[in-house]
Amino acid sequence: MDTQCTGIQLEMQGLGRRKVHLDFHGGHVSSDGGALLLRAVDDRLKLTERFAACFTDYRQPGLIEHSVLELVRQRTYGIDLAYEDLNDHDDLLRDPLLALLSGKRDVEGQNRRRASDKGKALASSSTLNRLELTPENADAQSRYKKVVYSGVAIEHFFVDVFLDSFEQAPTEIILDFDATDDPLHGHQEGRFFNGYYDSYCYMPLYVTSGEHLLISQLRPGNQGAATGSLAVLQKLVARIRKRWPDVSILFRADAGFMGDAIMTWCEANRVKYVIGLSRNERLLKRIRIQQYEAWRLYEQTGTASRVFTEFKYRTRTSWTSARRVIAKAEHLCKGPNPRFIVTNLSGSEVHSRELYEEVYCARGDMENRIKEQQLDLFADRTSTHTLRANQLRLWFSSLAYVLTSALRRIALKGTRLATATSGTIRLKLFKIGALIKLSVRRFQIHLASACPYQDVFHQALNNLYRYPLRN
Protein backbone atom coordinates (compact mmCIF):
# COMPACT_ATOMS: atom_id res chain seq x y z
CA MET A 1 0.00 0.00 0.00
CA ASP A 2 1.36 3.39 -0.99
CA THR A 3 1.61 5.46 2.17
CA GLN A 4 2.99 8.58 0.45
CA CYS A 5 5.70 8.80 3.12
CA THR A 6 9.37 9.62 2.93
CA GLY A 7 12.02 7.05 3.71
CA ILE A 8 13.79 9.27 6.22
CA GLN A 9 14.34 7.74 9.66
CA LEU A 10 15.05 10.05 12.58
CA GLU A 11 16.83 9.08 15.76
CA MET A 12 15.58 10.67 18.95
CA GLN A 13 17.04 10.83 22.43
CA GLY A 14 17.19 7.33 23.89
CA LEU A 15 15.23 6.00 26.81
CA GLY A 16 17.56 4.03 29.05
CA ARG A 17 19.15 1.30 26.93
CA ARG A 18 16.50 1.63 24.26
CA LYS A 19 17.07 3.66 21.15
CA VAL A 20 14.18 5.76 19.88
CA HIS A 21 13.62 5.91 16.13
CA LEU A 22 11.06 8.04 14.32
CA ASP A 23 9.88 7.58 10.73
CA PHE A 24 6.83 8.18 8.52
CA HIS A 25 6.09 4.56 7.62
CA GLY A 26 2.98 4.19 9.80
CA GLY A 27 0.66 3.80 6.83
CA HIS A 28 -2.88 5.06 7.06
CA VAL A 29 -3.09 6.77 10.43
CA SER A 30 -5.60 9.50 11.29
CA SER A 31 -5.94 11.88 14.19
CA ASP A 32 -9.71 12.13 13.63
CA GLY A 33 -10.98 8.64 14.41
CA GLY A 34 -13.81 9.93 16.60
CA ALA A 35 -15.32 11.83 13.68
CA LEU A 36 -17.14 8.62 12.78
CA LEU A 37 -19.72 9.81 15.32
CA LEU A 38 -20.42 12.82 13.11
CA ARG A 39 -21.18 10.58 10.17
CA ALA A 40 -23.33 8.37 12.41
CA VAL A 41 -25.56 11.25 13.53
CA ASP A 42 -25.63 12.57 9.97
CA ASP A 43 -26.82 9.18 8.72
CA ARG A 44 -29.66 9.37 11.27
CA LEU A 45 -30.84 12.88 10.42
CA LYS A 46 -29.74 13.18 6.75
CA LEU A 47 -28.46 16.72 7.41
CA THR A 48 -25.75 16.98 4.75
CA GLU A 49 -27.99 15.17 2.29
CA ARG A 50 -30.78 17.70 2.81
CA PHE A 51 -28.34 20.60 2.63
CA ALA A 52 -26.84 19.30 -0.63
CA ALA A 53 -30.36 19.18 -2.08
CA CYS A 54 -30.36 23.00 -1.90
CA PHE A 55 -27.85 23.09 -4.81
CA THR A 56 -28.51 22.75 -8.53
CA ASP A 57 -25.74 20.91 -10.38
CA TYR A 58 -25.36 21.90 -14.04
CA ARG A 59 -22.27 19.76 -14.61
CA GLN A 60 -22.32 16.91 -17.14
CA PRO A 61 -23.15 13.75 -15.14
CA GLY A 62 -20.58 11.62 -16.96
CA LEU A 63 -17.74 13.97 -16.03
CA ILE A 64 -18.49 14.40 -12.31
CA GLU A 65 -15.84 13.00 -9.95
CA HIS A 66 -17.06 14.70 -6.77
CA SER A 67 -20.82 14.91 -6.24
CA VAL A 68 -22.38 17.90 -4.51
CA LEU A 69 -23.12 15.73 -1.47
CA GLU A 70 -19.48 14.62 -1.27
CA LEU A 71 -18.28 18.22 -1.54
CA VAL A 72 -20.72 19.37 1.15
CA ARG A 73 -19.65 16.58 3.48
CA GLN A 74 -15.95 17.17 2.89
CA ARG A 75 -16.28 20.89 3.61
CA THR A 76 -18.60 20.53 6.61
CA TYR A 77 -16.82 17.67 8.33
CA GLY A 78 -13.56 19.50 7.72
CA ILE A 79 -14.85 22.51 9.66
CA ASP A 80 -16.01 20.27 12.50
CA LEU A 81 -12.49 18.80 12.60
CA ALA A 82 -10.79 22.25 12.67
CA TYR A 83 -9.75 22.34 9.01
CA GLU A 84 -11.13 25.80 8.56
CA ASP A 85 -9.33 26.92 5.39
CA LEU A 86 -9.76 25.56 1.89
CA ASN A 87 -5.98 25.22 1.64
CA ASP A 88 -6.17 22.59 4.38
CA HIS A 89 -7.93 20.27 1.95
CA ASP A 90 -4.88 20.13 -0.31
CA ASP A 91 -3.15 18.37 2.59
CA LEU A 92 -6.17 16.10 3.12
CA LEU A 93 -6.46 14.79 -0.44
CA ARG A 94 -5.11 11.37 0.55
CA ASP A 95 -6.93 11.07 3.88
CA PRO A 96 -8.95 7.82 3.67
CA LEU A 97 -10.94 8.59 6.81
CA LEU A 98 -12.24 11.93 5.55
CA ALA A 99 -12.93 10.21 2.23
CA LEU A 100 -15.00 7.62 4.10
CA LEU A 101 -16.87 10.33 5.97
CA SER A 102 -17.56 12.15 2.70
CA GLY A 103 -19.10 9.03 1.19
CA LYS A 104 -16.31 8.14 -1.23
CA ARG A 105 -16.33 4.52 -2.40
CA ASP A 106 -12.82 4.84 -3.80
CA VAL A 107 -11.20 5.98 -0.54
CA GLU A 108 -7.68 5.66 -1.95
CA GLY A 109 -8.40 7.60 -5.13
CA GLN A 110 -7.23 4.87 -7.48
CA ASN A 111 -10.01 5.46 -10.04
CA ARG A 112 -9.33 9.12 -10.77
CA ARG A 113 -9.37 10.09 -14.45
CA ARG A 114 -6.14 12.04 -14.58
CA ALA A 115 -2.85 10.33 -13.78
CA SER A 116 -1.80 13.31 -11.64
CA ASP A 117 -4.87 12.77 -9.41
CA LYS A 118 -4.21 9.09 -8.70
CA GLY A 119 -4.14 8.45 -4.98
CA LYS A 120 -6.12 11.61 -4.22
CA ALA A 121 -9.63 10.60 -3.19
CA LEU A 122 -10.90 14.00 -2.12
CA ALA A 123 -11.62 17.29 -3.84
CA SER A 124 -8.88 19.88 -3.97
CA SER A 125 -9.14 23.39 -2.59
CA SER A 126 -9.73 24.74 -6.11
CA THR A 127 -12.75 22.46 -6.60
CA LEU A 128 -14.22 23.50 -3.25
CA ASN A 129 -13.50 27.11 -4.10
CA ARG A 130 -15.50 26.85 -7.34
CA LEU A 131 -18.42 25.54 -5.30
CA GLU A 132 -18.30 28.66 -3.13
CA LEU A 133 -17.73 31.14 -5.96
CA THR A 134 -20.44 29.97 -8.38
CA PRO A 135 -22.62 33.00 -9.18
CA GLU A 136 -26.40 32.93 -8.86
CA ASN A 137 -26.93 33.12 -12.64
CA ALA A 138 -24.65 30.19 -13.53
CA ASP A 139 -26.02 27.44 -15.77
CA ALA A 140 -24.91 24.54 -17.94
CA GLN A 141 -23.20 26.95 -20.36
CA SER A 142 -20.90 28.36 -17.70
CA ARG A 143 -17.30 27.32 -18.10
CA TYR A 144 -16.16 26.19 -14.66
CA LYS A 145 -18.60 27.26 -11.95
CA LYS A 146 -21.77 25.24 -12.44
CA VAL A 147 -23.08 24.31 -8.99
CA VAL A 148 -25.56 26.97 -7.77
CA TYR A 149 -27.03 27.17 -4.30
CA SER A 150 -30.49 28.47 -3.49
CA GLY A 151 -30.38 30.85 -0.54
CA VAL A 152 -34.12 30.47 0.06
CA ALA A 153 -33.84 26.68 0.15
CA ILE A 154 -30.93 26.80 2.61
CA GLU A 155 -32.81 29.18 4.90
CA HIS A 156 -35.79 26.81 4.85
CA PHE A 157 -33.45 23.89 5.56
CA PHE A 158 -32.24 25.29 8.89
CA VAL A 159 -35.77 26.12 10.03
CA ASP A 160 -37.07 22.69 8.99
CA VAL A 161 -34.26 20.95 10.90
CA PHE A 162 -35.33 22.89 13.99
CA LEU A 163 -39.00 21.98 13.53
CA ASP A 164 -38.17 18.32 12.91
CA SER A 165 -36.25 18.13 16.20
CA PHE A 166 -39.55 18.07 18.16
CA GLU A 167 -41.20 14.72 18.70
CA GLN A 168 -44.48 16.49 19.51
CA ALA A 169 -45.79 20.02 19.21
CA PRO A 170 -44.20 22.36 21.78
CA THR A 171 -46.31 24.71 23.90
CA GLU A 172 -43.93 27.66 23.46
CA ILE A 173 -41.05 28.61 21.20
CA ILE A 174 -38.62 31.38 22.14
CA LEU A 175 -36.85 33.09 19.24
CA ASP A 176 -33.66 34.91 20.25
CA PHE A 177 -32.38 37.56 17.83
CA ASP A 178 -28.89 39.02 17.97
CA ALA A 179 -26.31 40.59 15.68
CA THR A 180 -22.55 40.66 16.00
CA ASP A 181 -19.54 41.96 14.11
CA ASP A 182 -17.48 39.89 11.71
CA PRO A 183 -14.21 41.84 11.31
CA LEU A 184 -12.80 42.03 7.78
CA HIS A 185 -9.22 42.60 6.69
CA GLY A 186 -9.62 42.80 2.92
CA HIS A 187 -11.87 44.56 0.44
CA GLN A 188 -14.79 42.15 0.43
CA GLU A 189 -18.11 43.09 -1.12
CA GLY A 190 -20.36 44.55 1.60
CA ARG A 191 -17.41 45.71 3.68
CA PHE A 192 -18.11 48.92 5.59
CA PHE A 193 -16.70 50.70 8.61
CA ASN A 194 -18.90 50.28 11.68
CA GLY A 195 -18.43 53.03 14.22
CA TYR A 196 -19.82 51.01 17.13
CA TYR A 197 -17.28 48.21 16.65
CA ASP A 198 -14.59 50.60 15.34
CA SER A 199 -13.66 48.27 12.48
CA TYR A 200 -14.47 47.23 8.93
CA CYS A 201 -16.83 44.31 9.20
CA TYR A 202 -19.91 42.37 8.22
CA MET A 203 -22.95 42.47 10.52
CA PRO A 204 -24.43 38.93 10.52
CA LEU A 205 -27.87 38.33 12.05
CA TYR A 206 -28.39 35.18 14.11
CA VAL A 207 -31.63 33.64 15.34
CA THR A 208 -31.56 30.77 17.82
CA SER A 209 -34.03 28.86 19.96
CA GLY A 210 -32.17 27.28 22.84
CA GLU A 211 -29.15 25.62 21.26
CA HIS A 212 -30.91 25.32 17.87
CA LEU A 213 -29.72 27.62 15.07
CA LEU A 214 -32.46 28.89 12.75
CA ILE A 215 -30.92 31.88 10.95
CA SER A 216 -27.36 32.95 10.13
CA GLN A 217 -27.74 35.80 7.67
CA LEU A 218 -24.67 37.67 6.48
CA ARG A 219 -25.28 41.40 6.06
CA PRO A 220 -23.13 44.39 5.05
CA GLY A 221 -21.33 46.17 7.86
CA ASN A 222 -23.28 49.41 7.47
CA GLN A 223 -26.55 47.86 8.61
CA GLY A 224 -27.94 48.20 12.10
CA ALA A 225 -28.63 45.26 14.36
CA ALA A 226 -32.37 45.32 13.65
CA THR A 227 -32.18 45.94 9.89
CA GLY A 228 -34.37 43.37 8.15
CA SER A 229 -35.17 41.58 11.40
CA LEU A 230 -38.94 42.18 11.12
CA ALA A 231 -39.04 40.44 7.73
CA VAL A 232 -37.04 37.54 9.17
CA LEU A 233 -39.40 37.29 12.16
CA GLN A 234 -42.45 37.31 9.88
CA LYS A 235 -41.08 34.45 7.77
CA LEU A 236 -40.12 32.41 10.84
CA VAL A 237 -43.50 32.84 12.50
CA ALA A 238 -45.27 31.87 9.27
CA ARG A 239 -43.24 28.63 8.90
CA ILE A 240 -43.61 27.72 12.57
CA ARG A 241 -47.37 28.31 12.62
CA LYS A 242 -47.79 26.40 9.37
CA ARG A 243 -46.62 23.38 11.35
CA TRP A 244 -48.17 24.30 14.73
CA PRO A 245 -50.92 26.96 14.37
CA ASP A 246 -51.55 27.34 18.10
CA VAL A 247 -47.98 27.37 19.45
CA SER A 248 -47.03 30.34 21.65
CA ILE A 249 -44.08 32.34 20.23
CA LEU A 250 -41.88 34.75 22.19
CA PHE A 251 -39.56 37.22 20.45
CA ARG A 252 -36.57 38.09 22.64
CA ALA A 253 -33.77 40.54 21.87
CA ASP A 254 -31.60 43.30 23.28
CA ALA A 255 -32.12 47.03 22.87
CA GLY A 256 -30.67 47.03 19.35
CA PHE A 257 -33.91 45.44 18.14
CA MET A 258 -36.29 47.73 19.97
CA GLY A 259 -38.58 49.50 17.53
CA ASP A 260 -42.24 50.32 17.17
CA ALA A 261 -42.63 48.35 13.92
CA ILE A 262 -41.56 45.06 15.51
CA MET A 263 -43.64 45.59 18.65
CA THR A 264 -46.74 46.65 16.72
CA TRP A 265 -46.48 43.63 14.42
CA CYS A 266 -46.05 41.26 17.37
CA GLU A 267 -49.09 42.73 19.12
CA ALA A 268 -51.20 42.28 15.99
CA ASN A 269 -50.04 38.68 15.32
CA ARG A 270 -50.20 36.94 18.72
CA VAL A 271 -46.44 37.06 19.23
CA LYS A 272 -45.13 37.88 22.69
CA TYR A 273 -41.99 39.98 23.05
CA VAL A 274 -39.38 40.91 25.64
CA ILE A 275 -36.94 43.51 24.32
CA GLY A 276 -34.21 45.55 25.93
CA LEU A 277 -34.88 49.29 26.18
CA SER A 278 -32.10 51.87 26.07
CA ARG A 279 -32.15 54.19 29.07
CA ASN A 280 -32.78 57.90 28.77
CA GLU A 281 -33.42 60.80 31.13
CA ARG A 282 -37.18 60.24 31.21
CA LEU A 283 -36.74 56.59 32.18
CA LEU A 284 -34.10 57.34 34.79
CA LYS A 285 -36.35 59.98 36.33
CA ARG A 286 -39.14 57.39 36.68
CA ILE A 287 -36.99 55.16 38.90
CA ARG A 288 -35.19 57.72 41.09
CA ILE A 289 -36.86 56.41 44.24
CA GLN A 290 -36.07 52.77 43.42
CA GLN A 291 -32.48 53.64 42.55
CA TYR A 292 -32.14 55.36 45.93
CA GLU A 293 -33.56 52.26 47.66
CA ALA A 294 -31.03 50.08 45.84
CA TRP A 295 -28.22 52.35 47.01
CA ARG A 296 -29.49 52.17 50.63
CA LEU A 297 -29.54 48.38 50.48
CA TYR A 298 -26.03 48.35 49.05
CA GLU A 299 -24.78 50.58 51.87
CA GLN A 300 -26.36 48.27 54.46
CA THR A 301 -25.22 44.95 53.01
CA GLY A 302 -22.11 45.78 50.99
CA THR A 303 -23.39 43.59 48.17
CA ALA A 304 -25.07 44.30 44.86
CA SER A 305 -28.69 45.30 45.40
CA ARG A 306 -31.66 45.29 43.04
CA VAL A 307 -35.09 46.89 43.23
CA PHE A 308 -37.67 46.20 40.53
CA THR A 309 -40.61 48.26 39.41
CA GLU A 310 -42.81 48.59 36.33
CA PHE A 311 -44.85 51.29 34.66
CA LYS A 312 -46.51 52.27 31.41
CA TYR A 313 -44.28 54.21 29.07
CA ARG A 314 -44.49 55.77 25.63
CA THR A 315 -41.88 57.70 23.71
CA ARG A 316 -42.76 61.23 22.63
CA THR A 317 -42.92 60.48 18.90
CA SER A 318 -41.73 56.99 17.84
CA TRP A 319 -44.15 54.68 19.70
CA THR A 320 -47.76 54.36 18.63
CA SER A 321 -48.97 53.36 22.10
CA ALA A 322 -47.93 53.09 25.74
CA ARG A 323 -46.35 49.77 26.74
CA ARG A 324 -45.35 47.87 29.87
CA VAL A 325 -41.78 48.64 30.93
CA ILE A 326 -39.88 46.68 33.59
CA ALA A 327 -37.13 48.60 35.37
CA LYS A 328 -34.24 47.15 37.34
CA ALA A 329 -32.77 49.73 39.71
CA GLU A 330 -29.42 48.21 40.64
CA HIS A 331 -26.41 49.45 42.62
CA LEU A 332 -23.04 47.73 42.28
CA CYS A 333 -19.61 48.40 43.71
CA LYS A 334 -18.94 50.48 40.60
CA GLY A 335 -22.10 52.54 41.10
CA PRO A 336 -25.67 52.58 39.76
CA ASN A 337 -26.56 50.15 36.95
CA PRO A 338 -30.17 50.69 35.87
CA ARG A 339 -31.70 48.51 33.14
CA PHE A 340 -35.03 48.52 31.28
CA ILE A 341 -37.03 46.10 29.16
CA VAL A 342 -40.33 46.47 27.32
CA THR A 343 -42.86 43.66 26.92
CA ASN A 344 -46.43 42.84 25.95
CA LEU A 345 -46.61 40.12 28.60
CA SER A 346 -49.07 41.07 31.30
CA GLY A 347 -48.31 41.24 35.00
CA SER A 348 -50.66 38.32 35.60
CA GLU A 349 -48.52 36.18 33.26
CA VAL A 350 -45.08 37.01 34.65
CA HIS A 351 -44.03 39.11 37.65
CA SER A 352 -41.59 41.93 36.87
CA ARG A 353 -38.56 40.44 38.67
CA GLU A 354 -39.13 36.98 37.22
CA LEU A 355 -39.64 38.47 33.78
CA TYR A 356 -36.29 40.23 33.89
CA GLU A 357 -34.12 37.65 35.68
CA GLU A 358 -35.54 34.39 34.35
CA VAL A 359 -36.98 35.30 30.97
CA TYR A 360 -35.00 38.22 29.57
CA CYS A 361 -31.57 37.43 31.03
CA ALA A 362 -31.77 33.88 29.67
CA ARG A 363 -31.14 35.33 26.22
CA GLY A 364 -27.50 35.72 27.26
CA ASP A 365 -26.96 32.06 26.42
CA MET A 366 -27.45 32.95 22.76
CA GLU A 367 -24.17 34.85 22.86
CA ASN A 368 -22.49 31.58 23.86
CA ARG A 369 -23.98 29.92 20.76
CA ILE A 370 -22.64 32.70 18.53
CA LYS A 371 -19.26 32.54 20.23
CA GLU A 372 -19.17 28.77 19.73
CA GLN A 373 -19.82 29.12 16.02
CA GLN A 374 -17.29 31.90 15.52
CA LEU A 375 -14.47 30.59 17.71
CA ASP A 376 -14.87 26.82 17.34
CA LEU A 377 -16.42 26.56 13.87
CA PHE A 378 -14.85 29.53 12.08
CA ALA A 379 -18.00 31.43 11.12
CA ASP A 380 -15.85 34.54 10.69
CA ARG A 381 -13.72 33.04 7.87
CA THR A 382 -15.39 35.32 5.35
CA SER A 383 -12.37 36.19 3.24
CA THR A 384 -13.67 35.64 -0.30
CA HIS A 385 -14.48 38.68 -2.43
CA THR A 386 -18.24 38.31 -2.93
CA LEU A 387 -20.92 38.57 -0.28
CA ARG A 388 -22.69 35.55 -1.80
CA ALA A 389 -19.63 33.30 -1.39
CA ASN A 390 -19.06 34.50 2.16
CA GLN A 391 -22.70 33.78 2.98
CA LEU A 392 -22.19 30.19 1.84
CA ARG A 393 -19.10 29.95 4.05
CA LEU A 394 -21.19 31.12 6.97
CA TRP A 395 -23.82 28.50 6.16
CA PHE A 396 -21.18 25.75 6.00
CA SER A 397 -20.11 26.80 9.50
CA SER A 398 -23.77 26.81 10.55
CA LEU A 399 -24.25 23.30 9.16
CA ALA A 400 -21.17 22.17 11.10
CA TYR A 401 -22.74 23.69 14.22
CA VAL A 402 -26.09 21.97 13.59
CA LEU A 403 -24.27 18.63 13.18
CA THR A 404 -22.36 19.01 16.44
CA SER A 405 -25.45 20.30 18.23
CA ALA A 406 -27.43 17.25 17.09
CA LEU A 407 -24.59 15.00 18.26
CA ARG A 408 -24.62 16.74 21.63
CA ARG A 409 -28.40 16.61 21.97
CA ILE A 410 -28.95 13.01 20.79
CA ALA A 411 -25.73 11.00 21.09
CA LEU A 412 -24.09 12.64 24.11
CA LYS A 413 -27.24 12.77 26.22
CA GLY A 414 -26.47 11.42 29.68
CA THR A 415 -22.68 11.51 29.17
CA ARG A 416 -20.06 13.80 30.72
CA LEU A 417 -19.88 15.70 27.42
CA ALA A 418 -23.61 16.38 27.22
CA THR A 419 -23.11 20.14 27.63
CA ALA A 420 -19.66 20.47 26.07
CA THR A 421 -18.91 23.05 23.39
CA SER A 422 -17.99 22.13 19.83
CA GLY A 423 -14.33 22.80 20.59
CA THR A 424 -14.34 20.52 23.62
CA ILE A 425 -16.17 17.74 21.75
CA ARG A 426 -13.62 17.98 18.95
CA LEU A 427 -10.66 17.85 21.32
CA LYS A 428 -11.90 15.03 23.51
CA LEU A 429 -14.02 12.93 21.17
CA PHE A 430 -13.13 13.57 17.54
CA LYS A 431 -9.35 13.82 17.86
CA ILE A 432 -8.75 10.16 18.63
CA GLY A 433 -5.79 8.46 17.01
CA ALA A 434 -6.86 5.78 14.55
CA LEU A 435 -5.01 3.13 12.52
CA ILE A 436 -6.81 2.41 9.24
CA LYS A 437 -6.54 -0.92 7.43
CA LEU A 438 -8.01 -1.28 3.99
CA SER A 439 -8.92 -4.45 2.13
CA VAL A 440 -11.19 -5.36 -0.74
CA ARG A 441 -14.17 -6.03 1.53
CA ARG A 442 -13.39 -4.17 4.72
CA PHE A 443 -12.53 -0.72 6.01
CA GLN A 444 -11.16 -1.42 9.48
CA ILE A 445 -10.47 1.36 11.96
CA HIS A 446 -8.52 0.76 15.16
CA LEU A 447 -8.94 3.59 17.66
CA ALA A 448 -6.32 4.45 20.23
CA SER A 449 -6.32 2.01 23.14
CA ALA A 450 -5.44 4.76 25.60
CA CYS A 451 -8.40 6.99 24.66
CA PRO A 452 -9.81 8.30 27.97
CA TYR A 453 -13.30 8.82 26.51
CA GLN A 454 -14.07 5.29 25.36
CA ASP A 455 -17.10 5.14 27.64
CA VAL A 456 -18.53 8.31 26.11
CA PHE A 457 -17.95 6.95 22.60
CA HIS A 458 -19.75 3.68 23.40
CA GLN A 459 -22.69 5.48 25.06
CA ALA A 460 -22.96 7.88 22.13
CA LEU A 461 -23.21 5.01 19.64
CA ASN A 462 -25.82 3.27 21.79
CA ASN A 463 -27.89 6.47 21.95
CA LEU A 464 -27.66 6.88 18.18
CA TYR A 465 -28.67 3.30 17.45
CA ARG A 466 -31.83 3.82 19.49
CA TYR A 467 -32.68 7.03 17.64
CA PRO A 468 -35.02 6.52 14.67
CA LEU A 469 -33.70 6.95 11.14
CA ARG A 470 -35.10 9.82 9.09
CA ASN A 471 -36.66 8.62 5.85
Is the pLDDT at 30 greater than 50? The verdict is yes
Is the pLDDT at 3 greater than 50? The verdict is no
Q: Which residues contact 202 (CB under 8 A, 6 or more apart)?
A: 181, 182, 184, 188, 190, 191, 218, 219, 220, 221, 382, 390
Is the pTM higher than 0.85? The answer reads yes
Average pLDDT over every residue of 368-377: 95
Q: What is the pLDDT of residues 264-289, one digit of tens each?
A: 999 999 999 999 999 999 999 999 99
DSSP-assigned beta bridge partners for residue 424: none
| pLDDT confidence of residue 5 | 47
Average pLDDT value over all residues in the chain: 93
The alpha helices in 206-271, defined as continuous H runs, are 229-243, 260-268
DSSP sequence for 267-281: HHTTEEEEEEE---H
C-alpha separations of 142 from 137, 146, 150, 322 in Å: 9, 6, 17, 57
232 or 105: which leads in pLDDT? 232
Is the pLDDT at 188 greater than 80? The verdict is yes
Is the pLDDT at 406 greater than 90? The verdict is yes
Q: What is the pLDDT of residues 321-361, one digit of tens each?
A: 999 999 999 999 999 999 999 999 988 888 999 999 999 99
Long-range CB pairs of 88-91 (<8 Å, 24+ gap) are 88/125, 89/122, 89/123, 89/124, 89/125, 89/128, 90/124, 90/125
- Confidence band (pLDDT; 50, 70, 90) for 1? very low
| pLDDT confidence of residue 471 | 67
Q: What is the pLDDT of residues 125-162, one digit of tens each?
A: 999 999 999 999 999 999 889 999 999 999 999 999 99
Average pLDDT over every residue of 85-99: 92
Q: Which amino acid is at 217?
A: Q
Is the pLDDT at 371 greater than 70? The verdict is yes
Tell me the three state secondary structure of residue 245.
coil
Contact 99, 84 (CB under 8 A): no
| Nearest in space to 219 (alpha carbons), one of 151, 271, 148 | 151
Q: What is the pLDDT of residues 8-25, one digit of tens each?
A: 666 666 677 787 777 776
What are the sequence ranges of the domains in the chain?
Answer: 29-151+377-466, 165-375
Is the pLDDT at 213 greater than 70? The verdict is yes
Q: What is the pLDDT of residues 34-72, one digit of tens each?
A: 999 999 999 999 999 999 999 999 999 988 999 999 999
| Nearest in space to 26 (alpha carbons), one of 9, 41, 51, 38 | 9
| pLDDT confidence of residue 20 | 77
Contact 120, 93 (CB under 8 A): yes
Q: Which amino acid is at 262?
A: I
Burial of 232 (0-12, 13-18, 19+ CB in 10 A): middle
Q: What is the pLDDT of residues 165-180, one digit of tens each?
A: 999 999 999 999 999 9
| pLDDT confidence of residue 470 | 75
Q: Which amino acid is at 449?
A: S
Q: CATH 3.90.350.10: does it fit domain 165-375?
A: yes
- Confidence band (pLDDT; 50, 70, 90) for 111? confident
Instruction: Report the side by side order of strands in the sheet with 182-183.
Output: 182-183, 199-202, 192-194
Burial of 467 (0-12, 13-18, 19+ CB in 10 A): middle
